Amino acid sequence: MNGIPAQRSTSPSSLTQAGSRTAGTCPSCGSTRLTALAMTLTDGTPVRFSSCHECEHRTWVHDGGELEFTDVLARATKVKV
């Protein structure tokens, strides 16, 4: 045994596969072709990230409100000590 865990033998699925996620619609163009996922920024802020496949609009939502990109960058920047 080499210490590497065995990988699951499931078929890959796409985040953009029709019906696989309830991502909503793009606030910019109204498209439903979105990739959406939950993530936690470096400072611990939980966000829902969405990226539109039609117009490339990206959003980060926290507590029901959209974060400004500069705020996302500030929260995702690792502080050097």
Summarised one tens digit per residue, pLDDT across range 8-54 is 444 444 444 444 445 689 999 999 999 999 999 999 999 999 999 99
Q: Give the residue, 76 or 18, on which the prediction is more confident.
A: 76
DSSP type of residue 18: T
- Higher-confidence position of 18 and 5: 5
Counts of helices then strands in the chain (DSSP H, E): 1, 4
Cα distances (angstroms) measured from residue 19 to each of 4, 14, 15, 63, 74: 33, 10, 10, 25, 33
Q: Which pLDDT does position 5 carry in this prediction?
A: 57
Q: Is the pLDDT of residue 56 over 50?
A: yes
- Cβ neighbors of 58 (< 8 A, separation 6 or more) are 49, 50, 51, 52, 69
Domain ranges of the chain: 34-76
How crowded is the C-beta side of 60, counted as CA atoms within 13 Å?
16
Mean pLDDT to the nearest integer, 52-64 = 95
